[in-house]
Amino acid sequence: MQFPITRQGLQDIAQFLVAGIVIFGLLAFVTRQRGGSPRRYLQSAGMLAGLTVVSYALAFTVAPNIPTPPVPFTARFQSNAVPDTTGSIDAGRRTFQENCVICHGPRALGDGPQAFTLNPKPFNLQVHVPLHPTGEVFYWIGNGVANTGMPAWRDKLSDEQRWQIIRYLDALAAKRIDQ
Amino acid sequence: MSFHAVVAHGATGTWLDEFIELGLPLIILVGLYFWSNRKPKAKQ
Q: Report pLDDT digits (tens) over B34-44.
A: 999 887 777 66
% of chain A surpassing 70 pLDDT: 99
CA–centroid distance for A154 within its chain: 21
d(CA B9, CA B16): 10
Write out the CATH class of domain A73-173: mainly alpha
> What's the pLDDT at A5?
84
Q: Is B24 at the interface with chain A, CB within 8 A?
A: yes
Q: Is the pTM of this model over 0.80?
A: no
A169 in Cβ contact with A99 (< 8 Å): no
| Lowest-confidence pick of A37-51, A164-178, B27-41 | B27-41
d(CA B23, CA B16): 10
Nearest CA to A134 out of A67, A65, A95, A82 is that of A82
In angstroms, what separates the C-alpha of B40 from chain A's closest C-alpha? 10
Comparing B3 with A64, the larger pLDDT belongs to A64
Indicate if the pLDDT at residue B2 is higher than 70.
Answer: no
Residue spans of the domains in chain A: they are 7-59, 73-173
- Residue-wise DSSP of A37-78: --HHHHHHHHHHHHHHHHHHHHHTTTS---------GGGGG-
What are the Cα distances from residue A61, in Å, to A7, A54, A119, B29? Answer: 9, 11, 21, 25
> What's the pLDDT at B43?
67
Q: What is the ipTM of this complex?
A: 0.72
> What's the pLDDT at A127?
85
Task: Answer whether A4 sits within 8 Å of B38, measured CB to CB.
Answer: no
Task: State the DSSP H helix or E strand holding residue A23, giving kind and residue range, or none if neither.
Answer: helix A7-33
Q: Is B2 at the interface with chain A, CB within 8 A?
A: no
Indicate if the pLDDT at residue B4 is higher than 60.
Answer: no
> What's the pLDDT at B5?
44
